[in-house]
Structure 1
């Protein structure tokens, strides 16, 4: 374009998208804007996303049970999945019926016993001069508020029935046809990335199944073992403490600490000998779980550092509440598998021989 005499040639402006620089900057701005929107949506939709993740975790449990049942029953996968779902439903119905019939009334008693025992400890600490009264009262209010929320959440589990139902429905649908959803996610990826995605997805599914199988085994061992041993030692509310211990076993590290505190407080409320028996029960159950079940599961799934799991639980619990605390361990395990597979694929690509250039 020839500019008129005395005037400089015209340059493309910001509204001219044909300019390569403008198009490049618009693409960059769109990427950063999309990333910011995605982060904001993840934050605003954290609870629904956690429900979806919980559904996937439940689907891995159903899939693992279906695969395990296939080793003894050579029938179609649909029938095996139906048997597993019916067994899980029967267990949930029995648990709610049993809790509602003979245990729900003990929650208020448990709260009263724990409150009384903590007040006795606080009075002893103040008598020894180890803590000012104001500090003890503040800590007491905080601790008892947390324990109260725990017992209230367990005692009024029907209040969370909608979230539980959503997790169960998502888990059942995904377990019925897992390949359908896997292909749906792969469809959104480039063709050259789909093989890597399928391999990573298979590894994540294998790890999740092993992790959840070990978690269920640990919950059963801790819950039943605590129930039986406490009943033998004459500890009050043995059945309730066994159920709480089994449920809290789903939360590594933190669950063991909370259940241990409850066992010791309730045990010493019935006498010194009963309290010592409760301590012994806690040590035995945790030793069996920590030195037999956890190492066996870690060899078959993913070995997570305890400090890493505890840090993730604190972080997710502070950000997303009880649901984040419960799902912190599976999420960290899946992230670790994803990073390991990604780094392994990159290492294989780096070690692959470079094809020779064609001769001229």
Structure 2
């Protein structure tokens, strides 16, 4: 018969409150990472609108900073004076745009809506007559389109909410543009010392890229708006000024903006007759081809080249998640992510960082 095992003394083992234990520290780090990730996702979902306003303010500050730097090449004065001039010009341009749209062509907005609605009804009626749509299906389709547009603009809300959001973006952008290094140092302060040099390199590269990208967007907006207005006026297309303004504003949105402006342009053109409609089609393709094959490639060589399909996918995702602001900011956010990942990969590979003025291949 085997002898009973002697009683072994009880050994105290580390519990969950013993943070000096290596196993406990490892598990605590893992739990902290997962908890932080869950809180981050919840915060993004809950605070989507304020986050988009902050991102919009940062993008606007890049525009102001780029204008200040450009003005410094021809006006050698202090940065504060140049920034004040840029802010005054930007505010004056926005005020003029609202005044021009509200007084000179405000009455045409209702006419444009009526024309587009009538053209859509005619198109749906023709499709129903050809058997492409069931009878009376065009009414349901119109409601679905209106519902989709309503969901897209729900992030901004009413006209008062849109104005408030715009003012907040402008104020945030001005505060950041006045003293950008203050915010850079504030974010870098939260990083370990060994990572701060990388952070400054990446932010400088991202800033240079966004300045050129947004400058290119402004050039494209001016080009498309002015040429559309001039050519539509020559062809006798109604509401040429309104269509030129809308085309210029929508040019800020790659892919989607061009399609939307083209639909409006062609619909208004055919409302005035077949000749005006054909001329509107010619103007649309002429302007878009010149912009796509001359203006955009030149700008892309100086900034970051974004694939059109990638930009469209980012617009769809950002628009679904964050509404109209996400749609507007998809392009700058995508460029920021691409440049940041490229710079991080260069650093990890031991390659020298890209100079701020050097284009990304």
Distance 2:161 2:233 in 1: 30
Structure 1 position 134, deviation (Å): 4.9
Equivalent in the alignment of 2:94: 92
Structure 1 position 236, deviation (Å): 1.3
Equivalent in the alignment of 1:11: 13
Structure 1 position 139, deviation (Å): 2.2
Give the conservation status (yes or no) of the 8 Å contact 1:63–1:175: yes
Equivalent in the alignment of 1:120: 122
SS of equivalent to 1:250: coil
CA RMSD of aligned residues (A): 2.3
| Greater Cα offset, 230-239 or 61-70 | 230-239
Give the conservation status (yes or no) of the 8 Å contact 2:116–2:267: yes
Distance 1:32 1:235 in 2: 59
State which of 326, 341, 344 in structure 1 corresponds to 2:343: 341
Alpha-carbon deviations, 1:69-106, whole Å to 9, x = none? Answer: 11111111111111111111111111111111122222
Distance 1:18 1:149 in 2: 52
Alpha-carbon deviations, 1:171-196, whole Å to 9, x = none? Answer: 11111111111111111111111111
State which of 52, 55, 60 in structure 1 corresponds to 2:54: 52
Give the 5 Å matches for 1:4-153. Answer: 5=7, 8-145=10-147
State which of 248, 251, 261 in structure 2 corresponds to 1:249: 251
Distance 1:183 1:17, change over 3 A: closer
Where does the alignment leave 5 or more consecutive residues of structure 1 unmatched? 351-360
Give the conservation status (yes or no) of the 8 Å contact 1:107–1:151: no
Structure 1 position 255, deviation (Å): 0.4
Equivalent in the alignment of 1:212: 214
Distance 1:205 1:151, change over 3 A: closer
Distance 1:124 1:211, change over 3 A: same
The ranges of structure 1 where at least 4 consecutive aligned residues each deviate by more than 6 angstroms after the TM superposition are 147-154
TM-score by length of 1: 0.90
Give the conservation status (yes or no) of the 8 Å contact 1:78–1:176: yes
Alpha-carbon deviations, 1:271-295, whole Å to 9, x = none? Answer: 0001011111111111121111100
Distance 1:75 1:86 in 2: 16
Where does the alignment leave 5 or more consecutive residues of structure 2 unmatched? 1-5, 353-361
Structure 1 position 131, deviation (Å): 2.0
Distance 1:38 1:139 in 2: 38
SS of equivalent to 1:189: coil
Distance 1:55 1:285 in 2: 30
Give the 5 Å matches for 1:320-339. Answer: 320-339=322-341
Structure 1 position 38, deviation (Å): 1.5
Distance 2:121 2:215 in 1: 39
Alpha-carbon deviations, 1:110-149, whole Å to 9, x = none? Answer: 1111111111111111111122225433322223555689
Alpha-carbon deviations, 1:204-225, whole Å to 9, x = none? Answer: 0000000000000111111111
Equivalent in the alignment of 2:190: 188
Alpha-carbon deviations, 1:244-265, whole Å to 9, x = none? Answer: 1111111100000011001011
Structure 1 position 349, deviation (Å): 7.0
Distance 1:315 1:186 in 2: 29
Equivalent in the alignment of 1:160: 162
Distance 1:119 1:13 in 2: 73
2:276 matched to 1:283? Answer: no
Distance 1:22 1:222 in 2: 62
Equivalent in the alignment of 1:231: 233
Equivalent in the alignment of 1:354: none
> Paired residues, what number?
346
Distance 1:259 1:65 in 2: 27
Distance 1:140 1:320 in 2: 24
